[in-house]
Structure 1
Amino acid sequence: MHIWIDAEPVAGAPRLFGFTTLERILRSIAKAGDPSVKVVISGVADTKADARYTVLDDTGTVGERLSAYLDKVDGPVLALDGGAVIDARLLPLLMQETDPACFLGHPASKDTAVLRLTKGTPPPTNTTSLHAAAEHLRAAGTIREITPDELPDFVGNLRRNVPFLLERVADDQHRAELEKRLFHLNYKGSTDFMTKWVYPPIVWQLTRLCIRWRITPNMVTVFSIFLTILAVPLFAYGYWFAGFVAAYSMTILDSVDGKLARLTLTDSPIGNILDHGLDIVHPPFWYWAWAAGLVAAGSEAPLYAATLWLTLFYIADRLALMVAKARFKRGLHAVTPLDGTVRTWIARRNVNLVVFTLGVALGFGSAAFLFITAWQGLTFVWHAARTAWLYPRARHEPFLT
């Protein structure tokens, strides 16, 4: 597979999250992970020498330059608009086939396109844009159009269907609107009420600062790990205010690192392992520290016994969710709208943290802890029951997302 990029529109395109549209495309190609792909940048482009691609100092219309390149190579060529924001998921999907085709994106988008062409399907030499080439070839019956509903748009990590993005960045106002839209599209479809309604404005500002200061997602994750560990002794010794500051800061940064990675196309396997591994492992340590802090403050409630049950319920709940994901090929909370709604309030770290904070602030810390234990048990029962109910229906009933 060859990838041909028209670089002429790049000079006038605003940067998106600090990167030119061409830089984003090159990162998307790298994420596709196919070392056999030959990448060629055609036309004037402000690019640095890189062994991963070739810069062609050619001139002429898009049609002339693309036709000339098609004549030189065998096999399919994926033609990209260097001035467009192209969804990173599109490239590996369009590289799976070899027949001539085009993707125009949303019907309202009239200024860009992605084409998959061969030597026998060159665009007219007087074509001035890839969108015009796609329209001409499609009208002539030379290529077929791939519509968005033909492509799988469910994103497992986000537990939601995310529409494919393909559009030019017209000006700075459009850039600002597009950045905000991309930010919200990268939120999970089902999550707790804090992440859904309280954190987004804070996460948006912190994500922008990280991009401006060139802070990487892994840096944010490492600092989150530090805050997670720091919160344990603070809670255990009854330093509630400092512990809550560390804990809430960590939960906010837990949203920042993921958004930062996806918006800058810098997510990595090690980053995912650190981020998701931290989310799974640390809650029981906080729960034991909460119990220790309350006991140290003089509570006579059976908190250590409650903590043991809370930990067992937590582990059992995670196992039930693992079974559901293996069966449904997606998280349980993305199976039906009901499961997504319930995810807002079930016993998870952020929800439990708010309940415990209110309990400590009002002088009912032990009661709040016992409530969290019971709520975690009910959450496990709910997830186990839902998994058992949906399990035999997974083969023949489409899931609503």
Structure 2
Amino acid sequence: MTDPSPAPLLWIDASRPAAGWRLWGMTLVERLLREGARRGLLRAVVVVSPESRPDAARLRPDLSGLWDIDLRIVDAGQARLDLVDSGPAGAILCDGDVVHDDRVLDHLLAAGPGSAVVGEDAVAAHLSAPDLRTLVSSADGIDATRLPGVGVRQLEELGHYVPELRLTMVPFLVRVADQDELRRVDRLLFHRTFKGVIDAVARYGYYHFVRFVTRVVSRTTVSPNLLTLLSILGIWVAIPCFATGQIGWGILSAWIGVILDSVDGKLARLTVNLSDAMGSLE
């Protein structure tokens, strides 16, 4: 039996201060680390600057409980070439101040070293070890898409359908340059948590309340799995309440169950804390 191929290294340039800005309870850097870990990228190098280090290096306490990531945080002026693997898997190169659609990472992993995806003002690439060394050692900040042999795809060329959400949406790479852009991508990510067409009750009945609750809980380490269990409990408790004539308690219990049933999935996607087992149970 042959050993499985090693996963690429995740190399994140978090030298810009926006990499440490928080979005749905975590920094943009940690969001990338979580998205990478979900895909088996458990070795990561985060390159920081003096301006970005205080925030970009700050991670949520629940991260280590979810994934065992071999994480190196290095200063921009001291990014060592010895951190770059010489193996065939290469490295996924991302900017820490860019919010990446997960389909971009999926495409780069499938395409292998020598591939890049280009957005309006951002690039993500899967590079071989020699190409990454060239970029790391360059003082001119060579664009990964200009390296010889790197195949470039535009965002619009990637698949638009998101099967797990049953919706069609153009992939995105959003560079967060200011607070207005941060608010825009905040709304984008929340909208992307809804499955298919948003029904009238969800859209107009409790949309904003669910968003408020999800935002509050995202700043804690409460697990989406706990909310799933509580939502199931709320629905089942409502049945005997209605059966025994306790209509008020039944309505309250059912309402809490419905709200938590909406919050748990959104929290899981927004904090990149997804559980296949709990999804099946639900």
TM-score range, shorter chain: 0.7 to 0.9
* Cross-structure match for 1:115: 125
Distance 1:39 1:220 in 2: 30
Cα pair 2:166 2:195 within 8 Å, conserved: yes
Instruction: Give the greater-gyration-radius structure (CA).
Output: 1
Correspondence 1:251-400 to 2 at 5 A: 251-275=258-282
Cα pair 2:268 2:274 within 8 Å, conserved: yes
Residues 59 and 260 of structure 1: CA distance in aligned 2, closer, same or farther (over 3 Å): closer
Correspondence 1:125-274 to 2 at 5 A: 125-128=138-141, 133-134=143-144, 136-137=146-147, 142-274=149-281
Secondary structure (helix, strand or coil) at the match of 2:159 reads: coil
Residues 56 and 239 of structure 1: CA distance in aligned 2, closer, same or farther (over 3 Å): closer
Whichever structure has more helix as a proportion of its residues is 1
TM, length-normalised to structure 2: 0.79
Residues 241 and 91 of structure 1: CA distance in aligned 2, closer, same or farther (over 3 Å): same
* Cross-structure match for 2:100: 86
* Cross-structure match for 2:4: none
Higher RCO (CA-CA < 8 Å; seq separation 6+): 2
Distance 1:57 1:228 in 2: 49
1:53 paired to 2:32: no
Residues 78 and 69 of structure 1: CA distance in aligned 2, closer, same or farther (over 3 Å): farther
Secondary structure (helix, strand or coil) at the match of 2:23 reads: coil
* Cross-structure match for 2:45: 40
Distance 1:56 1:213 in 2: 24
Q: Could you give the per-residue CA deviations for residues 366-393 of structure 1, whole angstroms, max 9, x where no partner exists?
A: xxxxxxxxxxxxxxxxxxxxxxxxxxxx
The CA deviation at 1:12 is 5.5
Distance 1:69 1:42 in 2: 14
Distance 1:198 1:113 in 2: 39
TM, length-normalised to structure 1: 0.57
The CA deviation at 1:261 is 0.6
Cα pair 2:13 2:47 within 8 Å, conserved: yes
Aligned identity (percent) is: 30
* Cross-structure match for 1:326: none
The CA deviation at 1:244 is 2.0
* Cross-structure match for 1:325: none
Whichever structure has more strand as a proportion of its residues is 2
Structure 1 counterpart of 2:114, which letter?
A: P
Distance 1:194 1:53 in 2: 44
Distance 2:249 2:38 in 1: 40
Distance 1:268 1:196 in 2: 25
* Cross-structure match for 1:330: none
* Cross-structure match for 2:91: 77
Please list every run of at least 4 consecutive aligned residues from structure 1 whose deviation after the TM superposition is greater than 3 angstroms.
10-13, 42-45, 56-61, 68-72, 119-124, 134-137
Cα pair 1:70 1:118 within 8 Å, conserved: no
The CA deviation at 1:227 is 1.0
RMSD of the alignment, in Å? 2.9
The CA deviation at 1:231 is 0.4
* Cross-structure match for 2:117: 103
Residues 54 and 204 of structure 1: CA distance in aligned 2, closer, same or farther (over 3 Å): closer
Structure 1 counterpart of 2:253, which letter?
A: A
Cα pair 2:48 2:75 within 8 Å, conserved: yes
The CA deviation at 1:55 is 1.8
Secondary structure (helix, strand or coil) at the match of 2:25 reads: coil
Secondary structure (helix, strand or coil) at the match of 2:143 reads: helix
- Structure 2 runs not aligned, ≥5 long: 1-7
Q: Could you give the per-residue CA deviations for residues 339-396 of structure 1, whole angstroms, max 9, x where no partner exists?
A: xxxxxxxxxxxxxxxxxxxxxxxxxxxxxxxxxxxxxxxxxxxxxxxxxxxxxxxxxx
Q: Could you give the per-residue CA deviations for residues 63-110 of structure 1, whole angstroms, max 9, x where no partner exists?
A: xx59x46976232322111222222333233112224122123x3xx2
